[in-house]
A and B are shown apart, each in its own frame.
Chain A
Amino acid sequence: MLVHSRKGKWATWVLFFALFLPLFALPLLVIVAASFATSWSSALPTGFTGGHYQAATSGASLQALTTSLVTAVSASLLALLIGTWAALAAAALKKSGRRVLDALFMLPVAVPSVVVGLAVLVAFSKPPMVLNGTRWIVILAHTILVTAFAYQSVSAAIVRLDPAYEQAAASLGARPSYVLWKVKLPLLLPSLNAAAGLCFALSMGELSATMMLYPPDWMPLPVQIYAITDRGSLFTGSALSVILMTTTLLVLLLVSRIRTKASYR
């Protein structure tokens, strides 16, 4: 549309991939390649081994994976509950009230995750709520961080929802609670799925707040990757990273596969 000559198009595309591939595709490929390599001291990795995966799926590393999965699932579900509730409540308010809720629930995005970690650490290390040293403090911090994203995507979906459905339901004599359960939530389900996937992915990769909080017996995957690479085991770290990416992708794929009746329209 913009470039018409065949030559110009090819030149543009070559330039595009000359930038795109090394910057975005190469890093991911390199990690995958490294996870199978025995050593890498020249242009290309040398030696093929599955040994890093063996190391990455046993002992502490395997535990880190399950830790991350449990944390991400719990944090996503909690965030979805709170975020959806808040978004629905905000949508019912007038403009000024909605603004306040928007600002409140989007605040965790603006605050650096490290600071969220610090704040949670400061608040929950002393009575009456001592969570420090338990897994709950990690799950709590993750929930805070991803709730903002759940709130944002559900809010956007509510705005897109045609008010005609709600009004049609009300005109048929349905109470607001009935409308919520039988019309609004079913129609929002595809967006809730997408929000859940987003929250899961974010929580799986969360490192900043977790570094401030994790107790020795609840070490999520990103922290484990950091610990391993810090010790110099870059290849095992790569294998763990591949596992992290694959798990995230699989869950995202699974979530996008969940077709609800409302998603056919």
Chain B
Amino acid sequence: MASATLSAPVNKAANPRKGMPKWVWALPPVAVLALVFLYPLALVVQQSVQPDTGGTSLKPYADVFASSAFREALGTTVWLALGATVGCLVLGFALALVIAFVPFPGGKAVAKFIDVFLSFPSFLITLALLFVYGSVGMANGLWTDVTGAASGPFQFLTTPWGVLLAEITYFTPFVMRPLLAAFSQIETAQLEVASSLGAKPARIIRQVILPEALPALAAGGSLVLVMCLNEFGIVLFTGAKGVTTLPMLVYSKAILESDYPGACVVAVVNVLISVGLYGLYRVVSRRAGA
């Protein structure tokens, strides 16, 4: 209420006891953020239009867009992110449904486990998958033990499918958490009434649960989409030359090739895609009240 008067200087002068306006307190943290984050980000944009040859031009953009490596990385990034998001949504919905509505002893522990899972870094999943599906891992070992063949059939780990599996595994809990929160809002009485009226589970899910869960699904889905677009650790640990995503391209251009303008161009594209999607996520989750 005080801030209403602060915008009017006349009123402020009449009211000397008011003290500092409230936005002044927001300045120090914003200044820090501007110095260590916004300014560097601006430099990235600036550097992206300054090729090594000097001057300012859009040549770096033309070069990068023309390269097949970039176009391939862009395509891979997008389809991996979309595929992983769909997978996480389906899997997360199904699992959360069971935890919430077909309760079993230990369900709380499972929910807790999911929380813990979220606090681990993503690359651990890839590391684990190396032991499970790697060329000498569990699955192939089992296969060679049983059939006596020289090598197993599971060789997908260094392909995009391996990355997809790792991303679905790692990001599904990010969908489950908001879903479990949304499910806890649904009154069990509502479900009991529905089933007492003769509705089958599939019908209850479709007509009662799904509409309630939709905002959480949308919010969780768009968050996972953004995180998949930005995922780096999983791809790095996969170590596959065949799987290059945009963040991976930024890393290899900057660190391995020292091509900073090129790295900055890819970075700008990556930022535009993910910030745009993240903006969408914020809008959706605000609608959803999450």
Q: Do A and B touch, yes or no (CB under 8 Å, in the complex)?
A: yes
Q: What is the CA–CA distance of A207 and B282 in the complex, to the nearest angstrom? A: 25
Per DSSP, are chain B's interface residues mostly helix, strand or loop, or mixed? Answer: helix
- Neighbouring A residues of B144 by C-beta, 8 Å: 42
Interface size, chain B (Cβ < 8 Å): 93
Judge whether B145 is part of the interface by a CB distance below 8 angstroms: yes
Judge whether B192 is part of the interface by a CB distance below 8 angstroms: yes
- Neighbouring A residues of B25 by C-beta, 8 Å: 85, 88-89, 92
Q: Is the Cβ of A114 less than 8 Å from the Cβ of B169?
A: no
Q: Is the Cβ of B36 less than 8 Å from the Cβ of A222?
A: no
Task: Please judge, given known A-B contacts A43-B138, A212-B254, A234-B130, whether A112 and B232 are in contact too, CB under 8 Å.
Answer: yes
Q: What is the CA–CA distance of A97 and B26 in the complex, to the nearest angstrom? A: 10
Q: Is the Cβ of B36 less than 8 Å from the Cβ of A120?
A: yes
Interface positions, chain B 222-261, Cβ under 8 Å from A, are: 226, 229-230, 232-233, 236-237, 239, 246-248, 250-251, 254-255, 260
Judge whether A24 is part of the interface by a CB distance below 8 angstroms: yes
Q: Is the Cβ of A40 less than 8 Å from the Cβ of B30?
A: no
Judge whether A27 is part of the interface by a CB distance below 8 angstroms: yes
CB contact between A207 and one of B125, B188, B233 (< 8 Å): that residue: B233
Interface positions, chain B 184-228, Cβ under 8 Å from A, are: 188, 191-192, 195, 201, 204-205, 226
CB contact between B136 and one of A40, A90, A97 (< 8 Å): that residue: A40
Q: Is the Cβ of A82 less than 8 Å from the Cβ of B141?
A: no
- Neighbouring B residues of A12 by C-beta, 8 Å: 98, 102
Q: Is the Cβ of A93 less than 8 Å from the Cβ of B23?
A: yes
Across the interface, name the chain B residue whose C-beta is closest to A222: B121
Across the interface, name the chain A residue whose C-beta is closest to B97: A2
Interface size band for A: 35 or more
Across the interface, name the chain B residue whose C-beta is closest to A45: B131
A interface residue numbers (CB < 8 A to B):
1-4, 9, 12-13, 15-16, 19-20, 23-28, 30-31, 33-34, 40-44, 82-83, 85-86, 88-90, 92-94, 97, 101, 103-116, 118-124, 140, 143-144, 147, 198, 201-202, 204-208, 211-212, 222, 225-226, 229-230, 234, 237-238, 241, 244-245, 248-249, 252
The 4 A-B residue pairs with the shortest CB-CB distance, nearest first, are: A205-B121, A27-B128, A110-B278, A123-B40
B interface residue numbers (CB < 8 A to A):
3-4, 22-23, 25-26, 28-30, 32-33, 36-41, 43-44, 47, 91, 94-95, 97-99, 101-104, 110, 113-114, 116-117, 119-125, 127-132, 136-138, 141-142, 144-145, 168-169, 172-173, 188, 191-192, 195, 201, 204-205, 226, 229-230, 232-233, 236-237, 239, 246-248, 250-251, 254-255, 260, 263-264, 267, 270-271, 274-275, 277-279, 282
Q: List 12 A-B contacts (CB under 8 A).
A: A1-B192, A15-B98, A19-B95, A27-B125, A30-B131, A43-B142, A115-B41, A118-B264, A122-B260, A123-B39, A201-B119, A211-B255
Query: Given contacts A198-B119, A248-B120, could you give 19 more A-B pairs where the C-beta distance is less than 8 Å?
Result: A2-B191, A2-B201, A13-B102, A19-B95, A26-B128, A42-B141, A89-B23, A107-B37, A109-B278, A110-B279, A111-B41, A112-B250, A114-B270, A115-B250, A116-B37, A118-B254, A122-B47, A122-B264, A205-B122
